[in-house]
């Protein structure tokens, strides 16, 4: 899908383009390509003179491959954006191209974004820019606001993680944790740990992208200060993710501790049973000896006497263990 955005009365207006002729009627500041077709790429090249690289969304992690400037003045930024889906949280690679200086091309002053699927941060910015006049002034402002919205989206997701961990904490610290419940809690904690790790990686990537924009001297004084504020917000998110990792580790340890306690209870029952059955076993072993002269063997009451001794020797230890509270 090819979406273009123009400024009208200080607001960002979205248009969906279905032909090259429609594209020529507008002067956009932002062109968003979601899973672009070969035909849409051809429109961009014909009208704007911009060739979209085939490796625009490669998973390179080296900074030189993700943030660089071409000889023709095009800035290239590849950054990851979070999708905090409940079933499958993930990050989506987005490529940005911005021509600031080459006046021979119609792409000058237009931000191009290329990605494979819809990104919540993009929707958030579009909604805000439609409702708040003056929020966007130029293409650089669009890019900066996207990273600002990305940091805010990460912060909201972190709040959701904390809420989920609070639910897990209530279950774990209730004191009555069965093995089944512990398994469910461990699964929930593991999902939040994975999401927290993705957020930390995402904000680290956003920090690198914003720092590159500041180093490239593409921002004016007001935008530069806004970029610094984004970096300060990211620093606070880093601290919060570290706090959540500590909380996750505590809940993991507590849950595993309750599992161990439940296992120890089972082992304790077997231990108590084995100890209680030792005296009857000893008595039975004594009367199972093949000696010729054993006084009780010739008596009528010998068999019930041995049974009574075995029962008594089992009941007394069990009574003692229960009195001491070892059977709870």
**102 in Cβ contact with 73 (< 8 Å):** yes
Bridge-based pairing state of the strands 111-115 and 30-34: parallel
Contacts of 142 (CB under 8 A, 6+ apart): 5, 12, 29, 30, 111, 125, 136
Instruction: With beta carbons less than 8 A apart as the criterion, state whether 195 and 157 touch.
Output: yes
* pLDDT tens for each residue of 164-193: 999 888 888 777 777 788 888 888 899 999
What pLDDT does residue 207 have? 92
CB 228 within 8 A of CB 255: no
pLDDT tier for residue 243 given thresholds of 50, 70 and 90: very high
Alpha-helix residue ranges (DSSP H) falling in the chain = 20-23, 38-48, 63-66, 120-131, 139-172, 179-215, 221-276, 278-287, 302-323
Q: What is the mean pLDDT of the chain?
A: 84
Give the distance from CA 182 to its chain's centroid.
20
pLDDT at residue 206, rounded to an integer: 92
Question: What's the residue count for the chain?
Answer: 328
pTM of the predicted model, to two decimals? 0.78
Q: Give the DSSP H/E element, type plus range, for residue 18.
A: none
Output the six-digit token pair for 243. Answer: 């706090």
Q: What is the pLDDT of residues 215-227, one digit of tens each?
A: 888 888 999 999 9
Top mean pLDDT of 62-66, 101-105, 161-165 is at 161-165
pLDDT of residue 297: 73
Q: Are 74 and 99 in contact (CB under 8 A)?
A: yes
pLDDT of the residue at 147: 93
Q: Are 29 and 152 in contact (CB under 8 A)?
A: no
Radius of gyration of the chain (CA): 35
The pLDDT of residue 210 = 92
Share of the chain above pLDDT 70, in %: 95
* pLDDT beyond 80 at 1: no
Tell me the two tokens of residue 70: 């071409």
The candidate with the shortest Cα–Cα distance to 89, out of 195, 160, 192, 196, is: 195
DSSP state of 116: S
Q: According to the model, what pLDDT value does residue 146 have?
A: 92
CA torsion, points 63, 204, 236, 152, in degrees to nearest 10?
Answer: 110
Please tell me the distance from the alpha carbon of residue 206 to that of residue 80, in angstroms, as a whole number: 7
Residue 61 has pLDDT above 60, yes or no: no
């Amino acid at each position: 899908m090819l979406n273009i955005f123009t400024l009208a009365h200080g607001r960002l207006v979205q248009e969906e383009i279905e032909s090259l002729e429609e594209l020529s009627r507008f002067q956009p500041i932002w062109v968003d390509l979601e899973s672009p077709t070969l035909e849409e790429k051809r429109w961009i090249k014909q009208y704007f003179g911009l060739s979209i690289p085939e490796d625009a969304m490669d998973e390179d992690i080296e900074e030189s491959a993700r943030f660089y400037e071409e000889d023709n003045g095009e800035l290239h930024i590849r950054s990851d954006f979070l999708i905090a889906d409940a079933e499958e949280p993930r990050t989506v690679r987005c490529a940005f191209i911005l021509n600031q200086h080459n006046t021979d091309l119609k792409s000058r002053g237009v931000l191009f974004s290329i990605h494979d699927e819809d990104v919540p941060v993009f929707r958030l910015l579009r909604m805000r820019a439609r409702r708040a006049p003056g929020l966007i002034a130029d293409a650089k402002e669009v890019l900066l606001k996207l990273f600002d919205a990305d940091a805010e989206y990460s912060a909201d997701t972190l709040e959701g993680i904390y809420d989920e961990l609070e639910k897990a904490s209530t279950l774990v610290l209730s004191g009555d944790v069965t093995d089944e419940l512990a398994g469910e809690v461990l699964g929930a904690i593991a999902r939040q740990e994975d999401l927290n790790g993705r957020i930390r990686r995402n904000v680290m990537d956003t920090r690198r992208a914003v720092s590159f924009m500041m180093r490239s001297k593409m921002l004016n004084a007001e935008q530069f200060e806004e970029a610094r504020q984004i970096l300060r917000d990211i620093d606070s998110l880093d601290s919060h993710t570290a706090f959540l990792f500590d909380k996750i580790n505590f809940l993991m340890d507590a849950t595993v501790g309750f599992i161990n306690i439940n296992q120890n209870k089972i082992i304790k029952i077997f231990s108590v049973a084995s100890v209680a059955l030792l005296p009857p076993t000893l008595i039975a072993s004594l009367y199972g000896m093949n000696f010729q002269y054993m006084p009780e063997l010739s008596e009528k009451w010998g068999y019930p006497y041995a049974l009574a001794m075995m029962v008594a020797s089992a009941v007394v230890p069990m009574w003692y263990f229960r009195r001491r509270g070892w059977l709870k």
